[in-house]
């Protein structure tokens, strides 16, 4: 059985604390043995060097060590720090404060102790006493480690016990904190895991309380955004399927009724009846074509052949092709374009489709006797196209949804106009593919105003 996240977190904290305690203990021992003891040895060597001139001068006066052996008081005086007349007393050297006076010894040339610590020998800190170029003896100071050798084991044992007590207490505290922390984290992670399972099972209304603003809280907020997006997509999918079935059912029902009437002889085979059938087939074909284009633009699979083009020429071409239909519908089509070329990089065919869809939308949903105004300007590195029409008006809460597939503001722009409800959705995808923007606003003419911006090509 593999350990869970609680056990892993608990063991990680516990191991980290134990490792820190171990490293601290080893480092303290190394520092005590090497750094501090070495420092004391340096002070001892400096003390021996300080005494050396006075010892050499004493031997030179006496000519032997006999006088030194007989004068122990002189030895004590020799070890006192020198002080010039009138100089205030000064603190003894560090070596003396750590027992250096009692560790000093004077050895003859055969390393026999003359005066001082009887344990001194050639293995200690030792310097030769040289008089007239001849080594007549040795000044030695017993090392600090050698003096402490007998007491060191007791000191180390005491330090070891203290270290184990401190380490055990630290590990217990770390274990308690690790248990509390892992329990808190696990509770929140279990909530996330449970919500994820519900979301995977199709419950898109699942939400999580984000709690504190830490990483897990941010993960919970991201989860809520994901759940909201999935819920929205699921509603859109169901709405899309309902709209598709409705849009296909209507022309198919008309076709079936017309064909059954022809089969039963209720309606004769005339050009008018064939024209009605042709109209319904055309409506079905247009719906299927729009669905195909929309699916391609949604997944980014629609082919775009980008090249430098003059948007003014493209717009003139589309306008010329639509003027007769606008006139037949009793609508005035006006255009106001900025003089000169309006250069951009794009797919000419798709831009024609985009502009034709916008004009087709205005043609279908503008009341007879109204007008449609198209303007195109350039400024600040973008091309701005505005298509606005007269009544009927579209309410503000409905304008924001006009670019959704199959959406219509039913009160004024209804299915009787014959549109599939996909044209503006295709327009939005084409604009986004050209790195542009499209919005719907209220028109000063009393109807709808579509504002389209596309990046201009620098001259």
Mapping DSSP onto H, E and C, the string for the chain reads CCCCHHHHHHHHHHHHHHHHHHHHHHHHHHHHHHHHHHHHHHHHHHHHHHHHHHHHHHHHHHCCCHHHHHCHHHHHHHHCCCCCCCCCCCCCCHHHHCCHHHHEEEEECCCCEEEECCCCCCCCEEEEEEECCEEEEEEEECCHHHHHHHHHHHHHHHHHHHHHHHHHHHHHHHHHHHHHHHHHHHHHHHHHHHHHHHHHCCCCCCCCCCCCCCHHHHHHHHHHHHHHHHHHHHHHHHHHHHHHHHHHHHHHHHHHHHHHHHHCCCCCCCHHHHHHHHHHHHHHHHHHHHHHHHHHHHHCCCCCCCEEEEHHHHHHHHHHHHHHHHHHCCCEEEEEECCCCCEEEECHHHHHHHHHHHHHHHHHHCCCCCEEEEEEEEECCEEEEEEEEECCCCCHHHHCCCCCCCCCCCCCCCHHHCCCCCHHHHHHHHHHHCCCEEEEEECCCEEEEEEEEEECCCC
Q: Report the Cα 70 to chain-centroid distance in Å.
A: 84
Regions in the chain scoring below 70 on pLDDT = 1-10, 25, 28-37, 72-100, 144-145, 147-157, 159-160, 236, 240, 243, 246-247, 283, 286, 290, 292-303, 405-421, 459
Is there a contact between 234 and 203 (Cβ–Cβ < 8 Å)?
Answer: no
Alpha-carbon distances, residue 430 vs 18, 36, 298 (angstroms): 63, 78, 10
What pLDDT shows up at residue 48? 78
Q: Kind of pairing, strands 437-442 and 307-310?
A: unpaired
What pLDDT shows up at residue 33? 61
Q: Kind of pairing, strands 343-346 and 332-337?
A: unpaired
- Answer whether 0.75 is exceeded by the pTM: no
What pLDDT shows up at residue 421? 64
What pLDDT shows up at residue 76? 66
What pLDDT shows up at residue 376? 92
What pLDDT shows up at residue 414? 44
What pLDDT shows up at residue 455? 92
Listed residue (122, 139, 126, 120) closest to 65, CA to CA = 139
> Which phi and psi angles does 99 have, rounded to 5°?
90, 20
What pLDDT shows up at residue 300? 56
Is there a contact between 385 and 434 (Cβ–Cβ < 8 Å)?
Answer: no
What pLDDT shows up at residue 420? 57
What pLDDT shows up at residue 4? 63
What pLDDT shows up at residue 318? 92
**Domains of the chain, each with CATH number or no CATH:** 1-80+94-203 (no CATH), 215-297 (1.10.287.130), 304-455 (3.30.565.10)
What pLDDT shows up at residue 44? 75
What pLDDT shows up at residue 413? 44
């Amino acid at each position: 059985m593999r350990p869970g996240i609680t056990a892993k977190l608990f063991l990680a904290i516990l191991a980290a604390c134990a490792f820190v305690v171990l490293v601290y203990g080893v480092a303290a021992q190394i520092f005590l043995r090497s750094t501090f003891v070495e420092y004391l040895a340096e002070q001892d060597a400096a003390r021996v060097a300080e005494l050396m001139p006075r010892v050499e001068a004493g031997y030179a006066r006496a000519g032997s060590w006999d006088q030194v052996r007989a004068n122990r008081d002189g030895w004590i005086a020799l070890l006192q720090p020198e002080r010039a007349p009138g100089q205030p007393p000064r603190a003894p050297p560090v070596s003396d404060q750590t027992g250096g006076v009692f560790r000093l010894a004077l050895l003859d040339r055969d390393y026999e102790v003359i005066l001082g610590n009887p344990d001194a020998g050639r293995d200690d800190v030792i310097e030769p006493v040289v008089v007239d170029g001849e080594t007549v003896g040795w000044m030695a100071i017993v090392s600090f480690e050698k003096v402490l050798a007998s007491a060191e084991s007791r000191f180390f044992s005491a330090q070891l016990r203290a270290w184990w007590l401190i380490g055990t207490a630290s590990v217990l505290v770390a274990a308690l904190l690790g248990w509390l922390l892992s329990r808190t984290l696990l509770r929140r992670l279990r909530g996330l895991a449970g919500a994820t399972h519900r979301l995977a099972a199709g419950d898109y209304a699942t939400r999580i309380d984000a709690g504190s603003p830490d990483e897990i809280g941010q993960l919970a907020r991201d989860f809520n955004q994901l759940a909201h997006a999935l819920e929205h997509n699921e509603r859109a999918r169901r709405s899309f399927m309902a709209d598709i079935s409705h849009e296909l059912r209507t022309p198919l029902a008309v076709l079936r009724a017309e064909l059954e009437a022809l089969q039963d002889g209720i309606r004769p085979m005339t050009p008018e009846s064939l024209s009605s059938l042709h109209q319904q087939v055309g409506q079905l074909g247009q719906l299927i074509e729009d669905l195909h284009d929309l699916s391609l633009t949604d997944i980014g699979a629609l082919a775009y052949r980008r090249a430098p083009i003059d948007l003014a020429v493209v717009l003139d071409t589309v306008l010329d092709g639509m003027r007769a239909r606008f006139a037949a519908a009793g609508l005035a089509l006006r255009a106001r374009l900025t003089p000169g070329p309006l250069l951009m990089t794009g797919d000419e065919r798709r831009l024609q489709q985009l502009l034709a869809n916008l004009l087709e939308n205005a043609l279908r949903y503008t009341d007879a006797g109204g007008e449609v105004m198209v303007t195109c300007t350039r400024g600040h590195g973008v091309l701005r196209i505005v298509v606005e029409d007269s009544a009927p008006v579209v309410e503000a809460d409905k304008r924001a949804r006009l670019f959704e597939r199959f959406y219509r503001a039913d009160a004024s722009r209804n299915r009787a106009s014959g549109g599939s409800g996909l044209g503006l959705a295709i327009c939005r995808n084409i604009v986004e593919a050209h790195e542009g923007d499209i919005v719907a606003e209220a028109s000063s003419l009393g109807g709808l105003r579509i504002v389209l911006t596309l990046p201009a090509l620098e001259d």
